[in-house]
Amino acid sequence: MNTILDFLGSDHRACDDLFAAAEENVAKKNWESASKLFSQFHQAMDRHFAMEEDVLFPAFEAKTGNTMGPTQVMRMEHEQMRALMNDMERAVTAGNDAEYLGLSETLNMIMQQHNLKEENMLYPMSDRVLAGNREAVLGDMDAVAR
């Protein structure tokens, strides 16, 4: 049986791989590849956030009645990451490797802490709380990802 932890955890790793590939190309000043890979990373993160914000978080909140807990913190961190990614997009477009790499260091730190919170707390809680309709939630998230 698929779990929310497995589904979204593997998506974290896919996003991380794109992030690392984009960063590597920026460091090499291979701007064409860097731009393409960053765009793929940004799109993957937007899809990931949509799966959580449009499907998982509302399902979790409806089941628990808690809208001020972990999902609120995750949404705030998503906003921080969106702002950093927008700044990184401008840096890659401008060919500014120093700015991009500084921003990517900050984003990497936030992403890793965020992913740990989700994978160690929110996703396992969601798997327990949503056990009765987990397959439907997974199906809805999969539909967003396509």
Q: Is the pLDDT of residue 31 over 60?
A: yes
Please give the Cα distance from 89 to 95 (Å, whole number). Answer: 10
Exposure of 123 by Cβ count < 10 A (0-12 exposed, 13-18 middle, 19+ buried)? buried
The pLDDT tens digits of the residues spanning 8-27 come to 999 999 999 999 999 999 99
Q: For residue 75, what is the domain's CATH number?
A: 1.20.120.520
The pLDDT tens digits of the residues spanning 64-105 come to 998 888 999 999 999 999 999 999 999 999 999 999 999 999
Q: 56 lies in which domain range? A: 4-145
| Phi, psi values for residue 69, rounded to 5° | -100, -130
Q: What is the DSSP string of 54-78?
A: IIIHHHHHHHH--SSSHHHHHHHHH
* Mean pLDDT confidence for 17-45: 98
Q: How far is CA 12 from CA 2, 5, 30, in A?
A: 16, 10, 25
* Mean pLDDT confidence for 111-140: 96
The number of domains in the chain is 1
Instruction: Quickly count: other Cβ atoms within 10 Å of residue 62's Cβ.
Output: 12
Which tokens is 92 given? 């890659």
